[in-house]
């Protein structure tokens, strides 16, 4: 039986805006198992972004617990959360978030710098990752010299730099045309099926969500429906 990697238990997130309290999450319960490909869907304002922040250790809940590898991280400070993020979770965003002055190789190597890895090992790892995403011939190109799809593939390679257990992809095809988006999703599927990576995809696009094995529908800060596409 596959182990649980991330578990949210009755998670609430309340923001105070002036005199008004806004509950972005209202008792969210969610479990992600090792090797799953999970999609979280919901309209704007459903709490998707807040859920991403919780799952990705970018924020802590107002109430409830977040378990990562069975360890409660709900009360950890920012420096401890940052260490966990660096080791455990790779992020892919809608805005590619590449540094424009760095080459593709340097962008991919950047997360490894913070793990005290020597230069030669960083370069070797980054080169291998760019070859995996079929950009071995574009390593010395800067983001402005790459297409949108190529930039997103650089971002995927960067997300894999520290060999994380979990890839968290927040609207990864949002800035791409449908054909390029399909290519990016195929890479994510391959990472899940061949490399065994746990993928958590956040999207509003039904076509994108169909690449996942399980879809959780979010509304008003909680899960309202689940769809297991594997039929079991």
**Quick one: DSSP state of residue 101?**
T
Instruction: Report whether 148 contacts 175 (CB < 8 A).
Output: yes
Radius of gyration of the chain (CA): 18
* pLDDT for residue 65: 93
Per-residue burial over 58-93, b = 16 or more CB atoms within 10 Å of its CB, e = otherwise = bbbbbebebbbeeeebbebeeeebeebbbebbbbbb
The C-alpha atoms of residue 40 and residue 23 are separated, in whole angstroms, by: 18
* pLDDT for residue 75: 79
**Residues 4-52: tens digit of each pLDDT:** 999 999 999 999 988 999 999 999 999 999 999 999 999 888 999 899 8
Write out the DSSP string of 58-90: SS--SEEEEEETTEE-TT--HHHHHHHHHHHEE
For the chain, how many helices (H) and strands (E)?
Answer: 7, 10
Confidence of residue 232 (pLDDT cuts 50, 70, 90): very low
Percentage of the chain modeled with pLDDT above 90 = 50
Domains and CATH numbers, the chain: 35-59+77-228 (3.40.50.300)
**Residues 47-87: tens digit of each pLDDT:** 998 998 898 888 889 999 999 888 888 878 888 888 888 78
* pLDDT for residue 162: 87
In sequence order, what are the residues at sequence separation of 6 or more whose Cβ sits closer than 8 angstroms to the Cβ of residue 110? 99, 102, 158, 161
* pLDDT for residue 224: 93
Determine the 3-state secondary structure of 204 from DSSP: coil
Strand order of the β-sheet with 20-33 is 20-33, 4-17, 63-68, 71-72
The C-alpha atoms of residue 132 and residue 145 are separated, in whole angstroms, by: 20
Where does the chain have alpha helices with state H?
Answer: 48-55, 78-88, 104-113, 119-132, 148-159, 178-195, 206-209
The C-alpha atoms of residue 50 and residue 60 are separated, in whole angstroms, by: 10
Pairing of strands 198-203, 63-68: unpaired
Pairing of strands 89-93, 37-41: unpaired
Query: Across all residues in the chain, what is the average pLDDT?
Result: 89
* pLDDT for residue 128: 93
The C-alpha atoms of residue 113 and residue 100 are separated, in whole angstroms, by: 18
Confidence of residue 225 (pLDDT cuts 50, 70, 90): very high
**Residues 148-206: tens digit of each pLDDT:** 999 989 999 999 898 898 999 998 888 888 888 888 898 899 889 988 899 999 998 88
In sequence order, what are the residues at sequence separation of 6 or more whose Cβ sits closer than 8 angstroms to the Cβ of residue 130? 104, 105, 108, 136, 138, 139, 154, 157
């Amino acid at each position: 039986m596959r182990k649980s990697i991330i578990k949210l238990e009755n998670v609430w997130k309340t923001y105070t805006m002036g005199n008004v309290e806004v509950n972005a999450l209202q008792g969210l319960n969610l479990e992600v198992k090792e090797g799953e490909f999970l999609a979280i869907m919901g309209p704007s304002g459903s709490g998707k972004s807040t859920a991403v922040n919780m799952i990705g250790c970018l924020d802590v809940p107002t109430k409830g617990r977040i378990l990562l590898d069975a360890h409660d991280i709900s009360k950890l400070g920012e420096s401890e959360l940052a260490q966990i993020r660096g080791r455990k979770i790779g992020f892919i965003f809608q805005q590619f978030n590449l540094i424009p002055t760095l080459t593709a190789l340097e962008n991919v190597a950047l997360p490894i710098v913070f793990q005290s890895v020597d230069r030669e090992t960083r370069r070797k790892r980054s080169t291998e990752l760019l070859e995996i995403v079929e950009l071995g011939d574009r390593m010395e190109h800067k983001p402005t010299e790459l297409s949108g799809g190529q930039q997103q593939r650089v971002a995927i390679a960067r997300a894999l730099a520290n060999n994380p257990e979990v890839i968290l992809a927040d609207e990864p095809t949002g800035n791409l045309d449908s054909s390029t988006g399909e290519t990016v999703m195929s890479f994510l599927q391959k990472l899940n099926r061949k490399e065994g990576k746990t993928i958590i995809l956040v999207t509003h696009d039904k076509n994108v969500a169909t690449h996942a094995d399980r879809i959780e529908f979010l509304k008003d800060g909680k899960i309202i429906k689940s769809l297991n596409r594997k039929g079991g």
